[in-house]
Amino acid sequence: MEKVKTDLLVIGAGSGGLSVAAGAAQMGADVVLLEGHKMGGDCLNYGCVPSKALLSEAKKAHAKGTSPAKAYPEAMAHVHSVIATIAPHDSVERFEGLGVRVISEFGQFTGPDTVAAGNYEISARRIVIATGSAPLVPPIPGLEAVPYETNETIFELRKRPEHLLIIGGGPIGMEMAQAHRRLGCAVTVIEGAKALGKDDPEAAAVLIEALRNEGIVIEEDALAAEVRGTTGAIEVEAKDGRVFKGSHLLIAVGRKANTDKLNLAAAGIDPSRNGIKVNAALKTSNPRVYAIGDVAGGLQFTHVAGYHAGIVIRSALFGLPSKASEAHIPWATYTSPELAQVGLTEAQAKERHGEALEVVRFDYAGNDRAIAEGHTTGFAKVMIVKGRPVGATIVGHQAGELINTWALALANKLKMGQIAAMVAPYPTIGEINKRVAGAYFSPRLFESKMVKRVVGAIQRFLP
């Protein structure tokens, strides 16, 4: 067994792991990267990249009226073309060119600072666990005997499903529902509680109505109790007796952290219910080891893993204090319309801030660009406490782009006056953010008797 010593060992070559490895190597650290599966991790191969590519092609096919028989295989071919285009950026060759030693093996702890990987035993000053997550497959009776898809397999399909049943009404389920519906599939979403239940209910209702108007059947409070059948004839029976029939089944109920192969106990690392227990600095119970991204048990988004990478580099390379926060982390569901959130929802803000909270909003129907392009469905609302935004919810066209402004505001503790001072080009969808800020100040300026008295007095004295 070859023994390797390094400054930094990164386990997992997904978004977070690659960011840590690239940054650390370019700053002069000796870095070893382990990946026993595909470089780029879930995001490139099974998640963000293929799902957005499929949504894009489905949108085009929907607009053009392309025949389903042609649209579906073409869309899936596009998905793999996009993956292939991006893959070199995440490749072994590129990272070796950056000075990273890449070992294509899974890693397993053998001690507090040692990891075995194939024929290698690696000891490191600091170790970063970035092993990500995998689809959670619930223990539904009968599921083990029925063919089903997850996000790791559905992009391999080339023949269009006649009727796709989706268990799970979260963001992944809804994105796949719309993409497949627009590519000519019948789609039924089966959700055990409320669809998009983690999002603002008012915004979620706008999106759910839009999806239903496209012909997607969304069944709520339908907890799956049994699955039976074969490919082409699958049935899902809900706890209340409802039975849903389709040709294919997609499981989209959430994610589970990839920790099974790590032998965490050997390194004195405590697990958590959702992955690995970390402190605010993303350190595990073993102070030499960090955990980032999905495996850290918090928000499961690619951009969170990238954010975590910056925290770890600051701490592990420079020894500087650095803490992670989720208060300014945005997320989006990339359906049409999109749904995006950063910070507190209205309900969360009311619970935390009570009467100090102000909520302002602006509807897409009041935006000239939205009117011109026929995208008038949706709204933006911002939760404000003492002049500072504490959360923003947007549902509508380009919501995922619009939320950037509010993510910037929360990250830098900006005031509403600074948003209002922005000049947005006309006509743009982005003007919606400025108009929301205007909705905060308008009552203070135009409905205030004091302001009117002051203006009146000044006018009497002006030449």
* pTM, 2 dp: 0.94
Contact between 133 and 219 (Cβ < 8 Å) = no
Residue 156 and residue 46: Cα distance in Å, rounded? Answer: 10
Domain boundary among 198, 231, 253: 253
Instruction: Name the domain boundary from 318, 345, 369.
Output: 318
Q: Which residues contact 49 (CB under 8 A, 6 or more apart)?
A: 43, 82, 83, 86
Provide the pLDDT for residue 38: 95
What is the 8-class DSSP label of residue 160? P
Structure tokens at 318: 């420079």
Q: How far apart are alpha carbons 17 and 35 in whole angstroms?
A: 10
The two tokens of residue 106 are 């899974």
Q: What is the share, in percent, of the chain residues with pLDDT greater than 90?
A: 92
Other beta carbons less than 10 A from residue 439's beta carbon:
19
Residue 39 has φ and ψ, to the nearest 5°, of -60, 140
Q: Tens of pLDDT along 76-129? A: 999 999 999 999 999 999 999 999 999 999 999 999 999 999 999 999 999 999
Residue 457 confidence (pLDDT) above 80: no
- 222 within domain boundaries: yes
Per-residue pLDDT reduced to its tens digit, 416-454? 999 999 999 999 999 999 999 999 987 776 566 676 677
Short-list 28, 122, 40, 98, CA closest to 316: 28
So what's the pLDDT on residue 442? 76
Residue entry with tokens 């549902």: 395
Same structural domain, 439 and 416: yes
Q: Looking at the structure, do residues 127 and 8 belong to the same domain, yes or no? A: yes
* C-beta of residue 96 within 8 angstroms of C-beta of residue 102: yes
Q: What residues form DSSP beta bridges with 237?
A: 226, 243
Contact predicate 236/165, CB 8 Å: yes
Claim to verify: residue 247 and residue 262 sit in the same structural domain: no
Clarify whether residues 285 and 241 are in a common domain: no
Q: Is the dihedral of CA 204, 210, 214, 220 positive or negative?
A: positive
Residues above pLDDT 70, as percent of the chain: 97
Task: Report the pLDDT averaged over residues 259-284.
Answer: 96
Residue finishing a domain among 253, 286, 304:
253
Residue 4 near residue 122 (C-beta atoms within 8 A): yes
- Has residue 238 been placed in a domain? yes
424 within some domain: yes
Distance separating alpha carbons of residues 317 and 329, to the nearest angstrom: 24
Judge whether residue 351 has pLDDT over 90: yes
CATH number (domain holding residue 442): 3.30.390.30
287 and 239 in a common domain: no
Do 263 and 129 share a structural domain? yes
Which domain covers residue 433, as residue numbers? 330-446
Looking at residue 446, its pLDDT comes to 59
Q: How far is CA 144 from the centre of its chain?
A: 28
The count of structural domains within the chain is 3
User: Is 13 inside a domain boundary?
Assistant: yes
In this structure, the answer to whether residues 199 and 270 fall within a common structural domain is no
Instruction: Give yes or no: residues 187 and 212 share one domain.
Output: yes
Please indicate, yes or no, if residue 412 is contained in any of the structural domains. yes
Element (H, E) at 188: strand 186-190
Q: What is the pLDDT of residues 201-246, one digit of tens each?
A: 999 999 999 999 999 999 999 999 999 999 899 999 999 999 999 9
69, 159, 160 from 56: Cα distances, Å: 17, 18, 17
According to the model, what pLDDT value does residue 68 have? 86
Backbone angles phi, psi at 44, to 5 degrees: -70, -45
**What mean pLDDT do residues 184-200 have?**
97
Query: Are 149 and 218 part of one and the same domain?
Result: yes
Same domain, 234 and 279: no
Which CATH number is 179's domain given? 3.50.50.60
Q: Please tell me the predicted confidence (pLDDT) of residue 212.
A: 98
Are residue 261 and residue 114 in the same domain, yes or no?
yes
46 belongs to a structural domain: no
Are 113 and 159 within one domain? no
- Give a yes or no: residue 86 inside a domain: no
Q: Is residue 454 in some structural domain?
A: no
Mean pLDDT of the chain: 95
pLDDT at 461 over 90: no
CA distance 20 to 34: 12
